[in-house]
Amino acid sequence: MDDTCIFCSIDRETLAENELAFAILDRFPAATGHSLVIPRRHVLTMDELTGEEALALFALIRQVKTLLRERFGPDGFNIGINEGEAAGQTVMHLHIHIIPRTRGDVENPRGGIRKVLPCRRRYRHGEGPA
């Protein structure tokens, strides 16, 4: 546990939880229902997880997706991890984003997370920026 880490000392309602992880709504959501799945143990990267922790995180992802489908009726999800400052991680405690998506929420969703680097978002020849 890291006393300076907001995820280690969080005091908020959880969406779901198990012995090794918990899920909360993101305070700065990219979309309605944007949630975070977080290991209870303070780790920075996926590489530091035990096998049991990894299984617990993925079990919660499935559970949270079910909850979000029931509450918000999304058409799809983006699920991702920002690992390290260079990848945009702002809270240095591993967390997995679950972002519900609906048809029409962006003009062209094709390529999904490939669009993280605008200069590399071409999905197929002739698509995206040159």
In a domain, 9, yes or no: no
In a domain, 125, yes or no: no
Question: pLDDT at position 107, please?
Answer: 83
C-alpha distances in Å from residue 56, one per residue of 30, 66, 72: 24, 16, 24
State the catalytic residues.
95
Give the CATH number for residue 70: 3.30.428.10
Question: pLDDT at position 52, please?
Answer: 98
pLDDT tens across 46-73, in order?
999 999 999 999 999 999 999 999 999 9
In a domain, 129, yes or no: no
In a domain, 11, yes or no: no
Question: pLDDT at position 4, please?
Answer: 85
Contacts of 85 (CB under 8 A, 6+ apart): none
Note whether 89 and 83 are within 8 A (CB): yes
Note whether 36 and 104 are within 8 A (CB): no
Question: pLDDT at position 106, please?
Answer: 85
In a domain, 1, yes or no: no
In a domain, 8, yes or no: no
In a domain, 24, yes or no: yes
Q: Identify the H or E element spanning 100.
A: strand 96-101
* Range of the structural domain that residue 42 is part of: 16-120
In a domain, 126, yes or no: no
What's the total number of domains in the chain?
Answer: 1
Q: What is the value of pTM for the model shown?
A: 0.87
Question: pLDDT at position 108, please?
Answer: 82
Between CA 102 and CA 94 the distance in angstroms is 26
List the chain residues with pLDDT less than 70.
1-3, 115-130
